[in-house]
Amino acid sequence: MSYVGPDFEPSEPRRPRRRPLTIALAALVPGALLGWLVYEAVGGGGDSGGSAGAVGTAASASAPASPTTPRSAGDDDKPGGSPKPTPAATPSKSAPGSGSGSGSGPLKGKVVVIDPGHNPGNFRHAAEISRKVNIGTNSKECDTTGTATNSGYEEARFTLDVAHRMRTLLQEQGATVELTQDGDRPYGPCVDERALIGNRAHADAVVSIHADGSAAGNRGFHVILPGPVHAGAADTRAVVAPSRALGERVAGAFVRVTGSAPSNYIGGGTGLVTRTDLGGLNLSTVPKVFIECGNMRDSKDAALLTSGTWRQKAAQGISEGIVGFLRE
């Protein structure tokens, strides 16, 4: 996901532009050096995704999700044009892309919503995705096309592939899993609707999957946490703390399973970033985080993101973080 202002950045289809990021660093987290030391302590080669204690604990305490074989591909987004209503997604458990777990396992009775960032069809619907929606604090574009690697592998394809792998892993743990979209709609859903799907499902945890579109040389993952917002339709005050706990678990497990280091260009080396300008977080009434799994515009990160083997590790790392959070 690229940014140009609050929320998802409107980038050019497949070759998005990048602008400066505005973030608030996660509170009470040490700097890059301490993050690096924590990451080394949990067995990786980079910085850690939270406070030293929090992410170290997250990595060691995450309950492993069952490994599975790689599956599908695809999902991304971007803006452009005149107002038109978005086709409604069905946020219930009978929605396409949803499914119950095995009926047993540590996550039996838990509902997890996976939000594959963007949609492969967004670039064909510039007018629809550029229409403004209310995110509580202000209005933002419905969605964006997302970014892509230099070779044309789209963020939208990446996010949907990781979401499918996560769904399998989490269902094996007994969870009921819903996707906000499964390549089953022409575009979207809009960012406000993505939040609503998790809310209506009464999800125990929601994770939005993305990949960044920053400058070459910028590497690593970061987890985006909701900050306190109380304006208009947005009120995150009740979910800030549990979302941080979820984010720390996900960051710690992602480091351990993938071997990837936290971002070297945002988050001060912690792998955690707090934002109050994203509609998908502002409008959520359940614990929710975003994860930018790497930078598609950097050749080294792109080599990972385009690897099915690595995407399976990414799915497992995120899933283990969710399992650890839900078993607390």
Catalytic residues: 292
Query: 10 Å Cβ neighbour count for 30?
Result: 19
How far is residue 270's CA from residue 261's CA, in Å, rounded to a whole number?
9
> Residues 6 or more apart from 148 whose CB is under 8 A from it?
13, 14, 15, 16, 76, 154, 155, 213, 296
> Quick one: which of 229, 175, 169 has its CA closest to 205?
175
Assign residue 50 a region (left: φ > 0; alpha: ψ between -120 and 50; beta: otherwise).
Answer: left
How far is residue 201's CA from residue 180's CA, in Å, rounded to a whole number?
10
Radius of gyration of the CA atoms of the chain, in A: 17
Characterize the bridge pairing of strands 222-226 and 205-212.
unpaired
